[in-house]
């Protein structure tokens, strides 16, 4: 399931602009009519104006519906985003009203054309054209609020992060200022995208890198997985559930250089909470800002976004742990399994494959473990 390119949602005209555009085109169409006989000329002109105005309005409205993402086709992550950002019900309701108006305008045009066929004088053609214009204008007025809503919603949706649910995703968690954004930047092949997340007032970073033609996405979680869980409200819990849905692995960063402002104890406690909350996902813990730390010979993963220490090793680990999931037989998986299109040829020696398989079982989501038990 590809992600929504929120930035591609087209601009929405104001209601009056929709009318202006339609009537302007209609006048141009009328100018094109040539007929030496005045009676026939006027009838054709008026019919063509009504037709062109209705076509332009309906096409404009329908093009919005076409280019807006259809909610039901989205991943649960994107649905949760839309719901929190603009309201999923509102989204459906307003697009529904636009659809209704497009249909109405077409019906009005049809009715008007057939009336004109029956009229026998020039004045009646003009009057019918004015009447049809009035009816169409009132339809657009009726959905004025819906059009305005769409325009505002577009501006909000444009800032949402685009995460492709069919590609791997690393959720980067940890206390504020431990270096999450900095790490995403050094791991990314380009500049990370800065996006709005409707569940928090903070901006989040979405970066990615490619490995063997797969796109590994990374997203940080400001305001969500960075403070004690007791402070969570309903909507933030919804956000976390959505994150769990989209994240294949949680990377938890700990700053033990004492540079972040949260004590090590508190950070470890936070880590336990996040682990419990996202229990279905494997977690990698890394110690950040190693350039500020003394040498140590423990097995901890240590990284520095400034010197680059440990960064490539961490990248390999992330790929490894995600790949471990990928080699599970896709025939056993439900339809919406997010790697349905991926190659399933296991990579590496038989020992490596066995090792990864074991790891995968260990980290497999709960539903999957249940499924295996039942077999
Ligand atoms: N010395 C050092 N400072 C870092 C490192 N990574 C991040 N920082 C600094 O730590 C602060 C917070 O980093 P940031 O990435 O914004 O943290 P976030 O809140 O977890 O996203 C910034 O001032 C960074 O420059 C690192 O590896 N070494
Ligand atoms: Mg940050």
What structural domains and CATH numbers belong to the chain?
A: 6-157 (1.20.120.1190), 169-322 (3.40.50.300)
Sheet with 301-302: strands ordered across: 193-196, 203-211, 214-220, 169-174, 249-254, 283-287, 301-302
Specify which residues 302 forms β-bridges with: 287
CA–centroid distance, 255 to ligand 1, in Å, is 9
List, in sequence order, every residue forming a beta bridge with 54; answer none if it has no partner. none
pLDDT for 27:
97
- Check residue 324 and give its pLDDT: 67
What's the 20 CA to ligand 2 centre distance in angstroms? 46
Give the residues surrounding ligand 1 with Cβ less than 6 Å away.
Answer: 174, 176-182, 220, 288-289, 291-292, 304-306
Q: What is the pLDDT of residues 335-348, one digit of tens each?
A: 554 443 444 455 56
| 14 Cβ contact partners less than 8 Å away, ≥ 6 residues apart | 147, 148, 151
Nearest CA to ligand 1 atom 6: 179
Res 332: pLDDT: 52
pLDDT of residue 58: 97
Which pLDDT belongs to residue 63? 95
What is this structure's pTM? 0.74
pLDDT of residue 213: 87
- Which ligand is nearest the CA of 184, by number? 1
Give the helix, strand, coil percentages of the chain, each rounded to 5: 55, 10, 35
Number of residues that this document lists for the chain: 375
**pLDDT per residue over 165-195, tens digit each?**
889 999 999 999 999 999 999 999 999 999 9
DSSP H helical ranges for 205-300: 234-246, 264-277
CB atoms within 10 A of CB 343: 12
As averages over each run of 10 residues, the pLDDT of the chain (375 residues) reads 76 96 97 94 97 98 92 85 91 96 98 95 96 98 97 93 89 93 95 87 90 92 80 79 86 88 90 90 94 78 94 95 65 50 53 60 44 45
Distance (angstroms) between ligand 1 centre and the Cα of 206 equals 16
pLDDT of residue 197: 85
Q: How many CA atoms lie within 13 A of 145 on its CB side?
A: 5
Distance 213 CA to ligand 1 centre (A): 29
């Amino acid at each position: 399931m590809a992600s929504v390119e929120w930035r591609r949602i087209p601009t929405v005209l104001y209601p009056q602009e929709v009318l202006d555009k339609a009537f302007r085109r209609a006048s141009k169409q009328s100018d094109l009519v040539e007929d030496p006989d005045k009676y026939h000329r006027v009838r054709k002109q008026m019919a063509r104006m009504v037709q062109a105005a209705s076509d332009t309005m309906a096409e404009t409205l329908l093009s919005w519906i076409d280019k807006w993402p259809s909610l039901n086709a989205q991943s649960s992550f994107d649905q949760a985003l839309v719901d929190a950002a603009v309201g999923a019900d509102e989204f459906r309701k307003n697009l529904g009203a636009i659809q209704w108006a497009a249909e109405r305008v077409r019906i009005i045009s049809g009715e008007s054309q057939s009336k004109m066929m029956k009229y026998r004088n020039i004045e009646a053609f003009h009057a019918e054209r004015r009447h049809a214009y009035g009816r169409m204008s009132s339809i657009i007025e009726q959905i004025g609020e819906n059009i305005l809503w769409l325009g505002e919603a577009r501006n909000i949706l444009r800032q949402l992060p685009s995460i492709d649910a069919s590609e791997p995703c690393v959720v980067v968690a940890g206390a504020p200022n431990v270096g999450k954004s900095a790490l995403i930047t050094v791991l990314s092949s380009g500049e990370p995208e800065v996006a709005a997340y409707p569940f928090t007032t903070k901006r989040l970073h979405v970066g990615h890198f490619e490995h063997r033609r797969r796109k590994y996405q990374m997203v940080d979680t400001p305001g969500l997985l960075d403070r004690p869980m007791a402070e969570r409200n309903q909507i933030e819990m919804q956000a976390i559930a959505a994150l769990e849905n989209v994240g294949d692995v949680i990377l938890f960063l700990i700053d033990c250089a004492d540079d972040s402002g949260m004590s090590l104890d508190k950070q470890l406690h936070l880590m336990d909470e996040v682990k419990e909350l996202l229990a279905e996902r494997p977690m990698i813990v890394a110690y950040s800002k190693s350039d500020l730390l003394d040498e140590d010979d423990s097995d901890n993963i240590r990284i520095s976004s400034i010197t680059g220490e440990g960064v490539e090793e961490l990248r390999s680990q992330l790929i490894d742990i995600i790949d471990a999931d990928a080699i599970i037989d896709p025939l056993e998986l439900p339809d919406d399994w997010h790697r349905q299109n991926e190659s399933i040829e296991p990579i590496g020696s038989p020992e490596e494959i066995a090792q990864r398989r074991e790891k995968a079982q260990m980290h497999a989501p709960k539903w999957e473990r249940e499924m295996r038990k039942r077999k």
